[in-house]
Structure 1
Amino acid sequence: MKYFKRLLMLSCFILIFSLSGNLVKAAQNSADDYYKRICGYGYSETYEALNLLSEAHKLYPEDKRFIEGLNDKADIILSWSKGSQLNQSYDGAICGYNSIIKTEGISQDIKHEANVCLTLAKRRERGITGRFELKKDYNLIKNYREEYEGNYEYQNINSYSTFGNYLFIENTSSYTNTDEIRFDINGIPKVNYSGDFHYNPVTIGQYALTLYDRYLSAQVGRNQDLKKQFLNVANSLLYSVDNTGALRYEFEYKHYLEDNNFQPGWVSAMAQGEALSVFARAYHLTGDKKYIQAGNAVFKFLITKTSDGGAMDDLGSLNESLRDHIFFQLYVTDPPSYTLNGHMYTLIGLYDWANVSYDKKIGDQAKYYFNQGLETLRYILPYYDIGGFVAYDLGYLTKPGTNPTVNLNYYGIHITLLDALYRITGDKTFEDYGNLWISYVKKY
């Protein structure tokens, strides 16, 4: 009897082992069978192949054939959908983008790109051709993200008010004598450009706002010294405003989109906008009308068109139909650069100046241009998103053959500015893009 039991147990073990082996073999054959069926689909049956690949991937998530197949088919559908969108077949494009976004196993980078394009398709926009013809380099985008995650930070500010803290700018720069920045005998910073130190109106404005933020958070006793320092730098900026209302850069500068250097006397909307933020706070602290006079002059120059020597442009270089959309250029280049952070900083300046209740007419004008600039920003944000990361400007659209410019130092600044504009306006467009761009680099 004992012998029989042992024999029975041994037989059961052999049977179980045999069945296990057959199940493994059957599973392998099943995966191979899926693959053969998938390979049987032609180019015109890409959607059918994608569905079967998704089914196979759920059963065999480690099988690289299905992972690669999903991404290959998704790329084809992405290309088809972009073509449909350019031909104004928006419903077909939306269907294609959604199929990519909802299918498990497809690369997040491809899904990010589909999300960007879906935003435009839902707005019934053909989009700008250059954006859809942009060649994707997912490895490069991955490298950008990894470098950003390892070396940079972003911050949400949660609130913004004209006479309160300015974007927590005091957390971004220390402003001490270094190889890059030196202070003159009056405590005004100068910036190193190719070995020579020059006054930069943006740097001076940001240093003033840093001092203002420190003043707000300082203890009694120390705060009066910081107030004095802030007003000293604000006055330096005020004395730099010329008789046209411009804050000019008195040195040559080379921009990558231009063949020739900017000559001394060039202007920037961001310099004008940040000066408005400085003068609004200086007037709030002192009640001195000289800041109103300087600010009004700066504002009037800010809304001078680039064709008349100013820095207010339009989107006509992207598409002739967009000439009614104004854009505030950080750099006035030919072709236009459309630098994102410069436009947003300028909008903050316009908002601040609209809140200075001394001159209603000027205040209403500042509010008008603020709102017009917001309309442009809502329209143009998708074009900075290159599918998993963010471009610094739109030179890749205005100068054929130019790759998207990425500046890691400004990634977090974009997020902070979007958060500020969301807090000011309550417009979820800005919150949604801020959250999307955070998700691209979020640390887990």
Structure 2
Amino acid sequence: MRKFFDKILRYTNRKTSSLAFWWLPVKEGKWNCPLTRDEISDYYVDFSEKINYKYLFDSNGVPLLDYKGTVGVRYNPCAIAQYGLGLCSMYIKTKERKYIDKIRKQAEWISNNTKIGKNEVGRLEYDFAGEAYNQVLDKGYISAISQGQAISFLVRAMIILGDYKYLDTANKLFASFKYSIYDGGVVNYDEKSRIYLEEYPTKKISCVLDGFIYAMFGVYDYYLITADTDAENIFFDCCNTVEDRLKEFDLGFWSRADVYVEKPKMPASKFYHNVHVQQLKALYKITSREVYIEYARKWEQYQKNKIYSTLASLYKCWFKVFYY
């Protein structure tokens, strides 16, 4: 019951809650060339709107999120990485030096807060407990989305700032993609040996689509910078998983948020449906696999259909009331 009321607080105070950050618009990325150590490339989706978050920061200019209720004000590693990526995007577009110090502060926070755990895995831990998919996530859990987006940010910060210590942190974080959730990492496998990079490290596979793909981008960026063959193999194995399961994410009028099997099918919110579209466009640019652009265009048409959009919103409300 407490969890339910905490969520109500966040939604009814969305201008000052954590949603004030998460719901800032995400647009189609302008990425058009591979990242190298000598040449900066923008991120795969456009996070520049994230720099318009104005609500809560610490004394160093690192964003804080207010979860309201029992969790309260916290650092969120994923939010910090996304804010950093937004700053990088603005610097790439404008070359204005006012973004340099802000980029450095986010990169310093991530580097200073990366802990070393089992199997020498670098961990960006959440300092509060969570609950997802009928499982409590203990304080100190890690997530593929934050690990991956931190890598994407750090390698860009390294190039912009000319400081290779951020690559050292990225090396540590990448180790989490080489181990299962049972061995201190963020990877899980199904009965068909398909790989999943899990936003929520639960025992039963949930495969939150946006978190999975954001994590894939981090692995891909690491491969581009290091030419690490493990990263290359992990990325393309993940591409195979996404390609194989995309049809299961299609509700016929909207996209699903995940493929967790023990609840009714959860539709994506309007915000995350759009994220799915932009992510699939980016995957197509990276891999040239037609399936990604086919689903991106299909789901983009769903967005433009007012009946589908209304149905998705009603379905999402019903799901949140009874199952979320």
TM range (shorter): 0.7 to 0.9
Q: Which of the residues 70, 94, 112 maps onto 1:239? A: 112
| AA partner of residue 83 (structure 2) | Y
Matches of 1:159 and 1:278, distance apart in 2: 14
- Following superposition, the deviation at residue 302 of structure 1 comes to 2.5
Is the alpha carbon distance of 1:367 and 1:377 closer, same or farther for their aligned partners in structure 2, counting shifts above 3 Å? same
Does residue 430 in structure 1 map to residue 292 in structure 2?
yes
Does residue 309 in structure 1 map to residue 184 in structure 2?
yes
Paired residues, what number? 272
- Cα deviation, 1:117-167, whole Å, max 9, x if unaligned, reads xxxxxxxxxxxxxxxxxxxxxxxxxxxxxxxxxx99874335344332222
Is the alpha carbon distance of 1:172 and 1:282 closer, same or farther for their aligned partners in structure 2, counting shifts above 3 Å? closer
Whether the 8 Å CA contact 2:144–2:199 is kept in 1: the answer is yes
Whether the 8 Å CA contact 1:277–1:349 is kept in 2: the answer is yes
Aligned to 1:383: 248
Matches of 1:218 and 1:443, distance apart in 2: 36
Matches of 1:274 and 1:197, distance apart in 2: 21
Matches of 1:326 and 1:175, distance apart in 2: 34
Whether the 8 Å CA contact 1:258–1:334 is kept in 2: the answer is no
Does residue 288 in structure 1 map to residue 152 in structure 2?
no
- Following superposition, the deviation at residue 275 of structure 1 comes to 1.0
| AA partner of residue 264 (structure 2) | T
- Cα deviation, 1:173-220, whole Å, max 9, x if unaligned, reads 62111xxxx10111111111234111111000000011111111225x
Which range moved further: 200-209 or 231-240?
231-240
Aligned to 1:204: 80
Mapping for residues 34-433 of structure 1, pairs under 5 Å: 155-157=27-29, 159-160=31-32, 161-162=34-35, 163-166=40-43, 167-171=45-49, 174-177=52-55, 182-195=56-69, 196-218=72-94, 223-244=96-117, 245-255=122-132, 257-259=133-135, 261-314=136-189, 316=190, 320=191, 322=192, 324-357=193-226, 360=227, 363-395=228-260, 398-399=261-262, 401-433=263-295
- SS in structure 2 at match of 1:373: helix
Whether the 8 Å CA contact 1:170–1:214 is kept in 2: the answer is yes
Q: Extract unaligned runs of 5+ from structure 1.
A: 1-150
- SS in structure 2 at match of 1:355: helix
Matches of 1:155 and 1:297, distance apart in 2: 30
In the superposition, the TM-score normalised over structure 2's length comes to 0.78
Structure number with bigger Rg: 1
Aligned to 2:316: none
Percent of counterpart pairs with the same letter?
26
Whether the 8 Å CA contact 2:26–2:46 is kept in 1: the answer is no
Matches of 2:31 and 2:156, distance apart in 1: 17
- Following superposition, the deviation at residue 292 of structure 1 comes to 1.8
Higher helix share: 1
In the superposition, the TM-score normalised over structure 1's length comes to 0.58
- SS in structure 2 at match of 1:242: strand
- Cα deviation, 1:283-309, whole Å, max 9, x if unaligned, reads 212332211211111001222101213
- Cα deviation, 1:25-83, whole Å, max 9, x if unaligned, reads xxxxxxxxxxxxxxxxxxxxxxxxxxxxxxxxxxxxxxxxxxxxxxxxxxxxxxxxxxx
